[in-house]
Chain A
Amino acid sequence: MPFVNHSDSAAASGEERKRTRDYASLVDQLSDPNPTSRRWAARDLAQCPEGALELVARLKNETDLSVREVIFSTLTTLKNREAIEGLIDCLRSEDAALRNETIEAMQQCPEEVGQFIQLLFTDADPDVRIFAVNILESLCHGEVESWLIGVISTDQNLNVCATAVGVLTEIGTAASCEPLMAVSRRFANEPFLTFAVELALKRICEQKSNE
C-alpha cells in the first residue's frame, strides 16, 4: 500500500526545536525575522508571566496577522495585571484592527477585565469609554447591567450613553427602566437617543409581560 507509517517517530516528523526556550531567548525571538519563530516565541511566553509587557510592545509593531493572533492568545492566557493594562493601552491605538482585536481579547477575560471597567469609564477619552461599552457587550460578567446603568446615569457624552443604551436594549431588565428614562430626559434634545431609549424600554416591557 502507498501509505507511509512512521510509528514511534513522534508522529509529526515535522522538525526538532532548534532554539532555546528560556525567557531571555523567547523575548529575543519575538523580533526574529521569521514569523514562525515569532509565533512560537509568543506562544511559549504563556509560561512566563513577566512576558506580558514584551508581548504588548511587540503587538504594537507586529504586522504579521498570524503572530498578532498568537500574541493576543498568550495575553489572554496570562491575563495578569500587566497583560490587561497592556491591552487597555492598545485601545488607544490609531490602528482600528488592533483596537477591535483588543476588544475581542478583553472579552475573553471577564473577571480580570471586570476589575478595570470602572477605571475605563473614568477615562478622559470618550472613545475609550465607548470601547469599554463594546467590551461589555460580550463580557460574561454578572455586573454588566449595573455598569451600563452607571454609564447612562453619569456619562456626559452622548455617544457613550447611546452605545450603552444599545447594549441595554438587548440585555436590560426592569432595573434599567428608570435610568433609561432619566438619560432620555438628560439628552431631551437628541431625537436619536430618545428613540433608542423608547426601543430599549419597549423590549424590556415585552420581556416582563412574557414572564
Chain B
Amino acid sequence: MNEQTISSEDYAIFSEFFYRKTGISFETTKRYFVDKRLLERMNATEHKTFRSYFTMMRFEVSGEELQHLTNIMTVNETYFIREEYQFECLVSSILPEITEKKKDHKPVRIWVMPSSSGEEPYSIAMYLIEKWTGISKWDVEIIASDIDTSVLRKARAGLYGARTLQYVPAAWLKKYFCKVGEDFQISDDLRSAVEYTRVNLAEPADTRSYRNFDVIFCRNLLIYFDDMSRKRAGETFYDALVPGGFICLGHSESMSRVSSLYTARRFPEAIVYQRALETQ
C-alpha cells in the first residue's frame, strides 16, 4: 500500500475549496497543520487517496464530513480578552462613530452571540469601563446569548480558572475578581451588567425579538455553520442590528462571503462589518 500523502496540487485544490466553503484561507505556511488533519480524516473515513476522500467529502449530501473537517481545522477555545484588537476597535472607533450619530440617547445595545461561558461579554464590560471615555455619558446594555444552557449557567455564576484569565491585566483582576479556592469569581456588579439568554440562532422564533442592537459580537461561530445556516445567521443579524450597526466576527471569518447586505469597514484596529443604511 502506498504511504498516504497530500501533494502540492492536492493542497492547492483543497485550500481553494475550503476557502470557498468557509472563507478560511490557508497559506502555504499552514501546510503541515492542514496535511496532518486531512490525513487524519482520510484514515478515519478509510479513504486511501486524497482524490477519493475529497470527492466523497465534496459531494456527500449530508455535508457531515465537511463539518468534521471544519471542526478540526479550527481551534475552539475561549478566554478573557481574546482577540483584544476588536475590543480596541469597539472603544476607539465603533462606539465613537455610533454615539456621534445616535440622536435618541437610548442605551448603546450590544449583543454577544454566542456568549459561551461569559468570558467575552465580561471582557467587553471591563473594556468599556476601563477604556471607553464615553462610558460616563452613555448607558450600555449587554445581552449575551448561547444555545447551550450549561454554559449560560456557568456564565451567570462567573467562576473561572486561572488559565482563562491569563491575559487579564493584574489591576483588572484585582478590581473585578475575588479568589474562591483555586478559582476566581467575577464581581457582582459585572455579573449584573450582562443579561444572559438562551437563543438558537437558527430558530426565528428565538431571535425575532432581538432588534435595535448597535453592535453584535459573533466571533468564531459561523465557521462551524454550513453555507445555508451561515446565510440565515447573516439575515438574522441584519434584522437584529439598527441600520448602520456593526457586527464583529472572528479573525478567520468574513461576512462578505455570507451576505451582500454588509459593508466591510476597515478601522485602524480591525475589519468589522456594517449593516447598510439602504439596500435598494
Contacts and interface: CB of A to CB of B under 8 A. Distances in A.
Interface string B248-275: 0000000000011100000000000000
Given A11-B145, A65-B261, A211 B58 contact: no
B24 interface: no
A69 B231 contact: yes
Interface stretch (B72-80, B81-89, B135-143): B135-143
Nearest to A16: B209
A210 B3 CA distance: 11
Contacts of A24: none
Interface stretch (B33-41, B45-53, B162-170, B214-222): B45-53
A169 to B, nearest CB: 11
Interface residues on A, range: 35 or more
Contacts of B239: 36, 39-40
Interface of B: 2, 7, 9-10, 13, 20, 48-52, 55, 58-61, 63, 107, 125, 129, 135-136, 138-143, 145, 189-190, 192-195, 197, 204, 208-212, 227-228, 231-232, 234-235, 238-240, 259-261, 276, 279-280
A15 B61 contact: no
Contacts of A46: 204
A211 B49 contact: yes
B61 A207 contact: no
B240 to A, nearest CB: 8
21 contacts: A4-B107, A4-B141, A5-B192, A5-B193, A6-B195, A13-B212, A14-B209, A64-B279, A69-B231, A69-B235, A69-B259, A69-B260, A70-B235, A111-B61, A140-B63, A141-B59, A142-B61, A170-B13, A207-B51, A210-B10, A211-B51
A44 B139 contact: no
Q: Pick from A40, A141, A211 the residue with the most CB of B within 10 Å.
A: A211
Contacts of B51: 173, 207, 210-211
Contacts of B60: 140
Contacts of A102: none
